[in-house]
Structure 1
């Protein structure tokens, strides 16, 4: 049975067919898809403009970062449906500036101004990270670049959500480490660990702690 949908939220990193391959099938005129022109919004943790352009070149209509912030998703959907020229006009830009340790606005946006929810998310974040950081050092000793890269990807996404901007930047460097030397990985891991401590100390000085 075939079903017609109004919108496709496309996860770029899928196990068998990735988002680019799936989009190509949807857009192909000879495929069995009912609506080849269905709006497609890419969902990915990669924030570079080059990656955004790659999504659009593949035939997608919009782009949003993961973890998904509800307000940004609504904006992305509105832009897709109300842009009559069908041009890509929505870009969720994340500034990974070194001077930012804790961006409270990012946390507030993610939790939609729910202070209790923000505190709960931060608590779970710190519990998760307190366990992950020592584990990362173990992987470094075991020379496992692949796992370190995946962990960097995971930490980057979590950190962006809670406003740990500097930590998100160093985690992104760890994510790219699988094609480099282990010596570099261990150095970057030290930076990630230091950025995590800085972020935790920064949060302790705010109303979001405890």
Structure 2
């Protein structure tokens, strides 16, 4: 929760700096966001490769639970497709691109800003931050109403890091490996799906 609030605070500060031109630098005419994206992807690769225990834990996973991240991805995209019917000013591909962030706001918003512009990138940022915050706040209710796998699916790509503690506390220690595996797979799909949907008009 604290991490999400810090991200939102920096977003608000950045918006104010842009509106009032407090930083004498034109970000729209530079490749700074591209370099930030490359650095972010490099950091993601290091974090995955630096924890061999996570990869070893996958071997003990129940084979049926392998389909959980697949269903999270398909369910999210199906929901975005339905929402696009109520947003005539946004194309189906725009809605699917935003949904394909799966809570990974830092990576997806940069990708979408690069391909579709700052407006949709901002929408993606807020949408994906909201997904993480909803999981952090409502995980106990999700477990009570829909079962132990619900907060894992709700957390999307964040279940291997920021939402893992609350998922462990509400769903139980036995779902730690499931949560990490789910986050890893969904996290890995983000750059591919976002760029795929951003390539459509």
TMscore range, shorter length: 0.3 to 0.5
Greater relative contact order, per chain length (Cα 8 Å cut-off, separation 6+): 2
Whose helix proportion is higher, 1 or 2?
A: 2
TM-score by length of 1: 0.35
Considering only CA atoms, is the larger Rg found in Structure 1 or Structure 2?
1
Whose strand proportion is higher, 1 or 2?
A: 1
